[in-house]
C-alpha cells in the first residue's frame, strides 16, 4: 500500500516534468529545424506561408499551455473539513481515492475532499473537478492538435531533409525498428533517430489526448464524472446535455474555445446545489 502511494507521488512529479520537456523540445524543433527547412524559399527572407504556420503553431501552443495553467490556477474546490472522511459502504478503496458519503470523493494524492471530483490528473498534478474541468478538456483538445500538427510538419521535414518517403502506409510501422537498427549500426545520426522517436511521441500523445477528450465530453454531456463511471453509475442520464455542458463550460463558453480565459463563474457554495439536485 505504501509502495503504491510512493509510486503515485513519483508520477505526480515526473508527469509535469515530462510535459515541460516535451513542450520545450517541440518549440525548439519547430523554430530551429522545421520552419526554416520546410518553408524555405530562395528569394524571400521570410515567406508568407511560413508566417501563417508560425501563427497557427503559436495559437495551438498558446491555448494548450494557457489551459494547462488555468487548470492549475483554478483548482477544483475542496471542502474545508477537519473530520476524518467516512467512506460510503460501497467505497471500492481505489488506489487514488476514497468514495465518501453524499457522493463526494477524497483524493489520496491531494489529501483533500474534492467537490465533484472527476479524476486526479498527473500531468497537472491536480484533481480535475467542478472548477477546472472545462480548462482540462480544452487543454486535451489543444494538446492533441499541437501534437498532430507537429507530426505532420515533422514528416514533411524528414521527407525533405532525409528523403524518407511516407507514401507507403507501412513506412510508419517499419520506421522505428529500422531507425533503431540503423542508429546502432552508425548509419544514421543521433538527431535523425531522435526526430523519428519524436514522431511517435507526438502520434501517441495526440491520439491519447483526443480519445480522452472525447470520453470527457461524453461524460460531461451526460452530467457525470469519471469517479461515478468507476462506480457503475452510468445507467441514468442527468438533465439535458445542453444544461450539463453549460454547467461545466459556463455561459461564455464560445470565448473559451479560442482563448484560455476564465469562463466558469464559480459561486462559493454552488456545489451544494449540484449535490442537492443530482445526488439525492
In the bound state with Zn ion, the residue whose beta carbon lies nearer, of 129 and 260, is 129
Can you tell me the distance from the alpha carbon of 162 to that of 62, in angstroms, rounded to the nearest whole number?
30
Provide the pairing of β-strand 119-121 with 112-114.
unpaired
In the bound state with Zn ion, the residue whose beta carbon lies nearer, of 29 and 114, is 114
Query: Which residues in the 72-111 window bind Zn ion by CB under 5 A?
Result: 107, 109-110
Can you tell me the distance from the alpha carbon of 270 to that of 265, in angstroms, rounded to the nearest whole number?
10
Q: Contacting Zn ion (CB under 5 A), which of 35, 100, 127, 188?
A: 127
Taking the complex as a whole, the smallest distance from the CB of residue 110 to Zn ion amounts, in Å, to 3
Taking the complex as a whole, the smallest distance from the CB of residue 269 to Zn ion amounts, in Å, to 21
Is residue 264 within the footprint of Zn ion (CB under 5 A)? no
Q: Contacting Zn ion (CB under 5 A), which of 53, 98, 120, 131?
A: 120
Can you tell me the distance from the alpha carbon of 269 to that of 254, in angstroms, rounded to the nearest whole number?
25
Which of 107, 110, 121, 213 is catalytic? The answer is: 121
Stretch that binds Zn ion, among 122-130, 154-162, 179-187, 260-268 (CB under 5 A): 122-130
Can you tell me the distance from the alpha carbon of 232 to that of 270, in angstroms, rounded to the nearest whole number?
25
In the bound state with Zn ion, the residue whose beta carbon lies nearer, of 35 and 127, is 127
Can you tell me the distance from the alpha carbon of 204 to that of 30, in angstroms, rounded to the nearest whole number?
18
Taking the complex as a whole, the smallest distance from the CB of residue 119 to Zn ion amounts, in Å, to 8
Q: Which residues of 78-91 are buried (b: 16+ CB within 10 A; e: fewer)?
A: bbeeeeebeebeeb
Closest CA to 124 of 11, 24, 212: 11
Size of site (CB under 5 A) for Zn ion: 5
H/E element holding 106?
Answer: strand 105-107
User: Is residue 121 flagged as an active site residue?
Assistant: yes
Q: Which residues bind Zn ion (CB under 5 A)?
A: 107, 109-110, 120, 127
Q: Residues with catalytic annotation? A: 121
Amino acid at each position: 500500500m505504501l509502495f503504491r502511494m510512493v509510486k503515485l507521488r513519483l508520477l505526480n512529479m515526473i508527469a509535469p516534468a515530462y510535459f515541460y520537456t516535451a513542450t520545450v523540445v517541440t518549440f525548439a524543433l519547430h523554430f530551429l529545424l522545421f520552419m526554416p527547412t520546410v518553408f524555405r524559399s530562395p528569394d524571400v527572407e521570410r515567406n508568407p506561408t511560413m508566417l501563417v504556420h508560425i501563427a497557427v503553431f503559436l495559437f495551438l501552443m498558446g491555448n494548450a499551455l494557457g489551459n494547462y495553467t488555468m487548470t492549475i490556477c483554478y483548482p477544483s474546490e475542496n471542502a474545508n473539513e477537519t473530520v476524518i472522511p467516512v467512506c460510503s459502504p460501497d467505497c471500492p478503496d481505489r488506489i487514488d481515492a476514497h468514495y465518501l458519503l453524499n457522493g463526494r470523493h477524497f483524493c489520496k494524492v491531494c489529501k483533500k475532499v474534492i467537490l465533484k471530483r472527476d479524476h486526479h490528473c498527473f500531468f497537472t498534478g491536480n484533481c480535475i473537478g467542478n472548477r477546472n474541468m472545462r480548462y482540462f478538456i480544452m487543454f486535451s483538445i489543444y494538446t492533441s492538435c499541437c501534437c498532430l500538427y507537429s507530426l505532420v510538419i515533422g514528416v514533411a521535414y524528414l521527407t525533405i531533409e532525409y528523403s524518407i518517403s511516407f507514401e507507403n502506409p507501412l513506412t510508419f510501422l517499419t520506421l522505428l525498428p529500422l531507425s533503431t537498427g540503423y542508429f546502432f549500426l552508425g548509419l544514421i545520426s543521433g538527431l535523425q533517430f531522435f526526430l523519428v522517436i519524436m514522431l511517435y511521441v507526438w502520434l501517441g500523445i495526440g491520439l491519447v489526448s483526443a480519445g480522452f477528450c472525447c470520453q470527457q465530453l461524453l461524460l460531461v454531456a451526460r452530467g457525470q464524472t469519471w469517479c461515478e463511471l468507476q462506480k457503475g453509475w452510468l445507467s441514468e442520464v442527468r438533465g439535458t446535455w445542453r444544461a450539463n455542458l453549460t454547467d461545466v463550460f459556463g455561459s461564455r463558453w464560445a470565448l473559451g474555445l479560442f482563448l484560455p480565459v476564465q469562463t466558469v463563474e464559480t459561486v462559493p457554495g454552488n456545489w451544494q446545489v449540484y449535490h442537492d439536485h443530482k445526488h439525492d
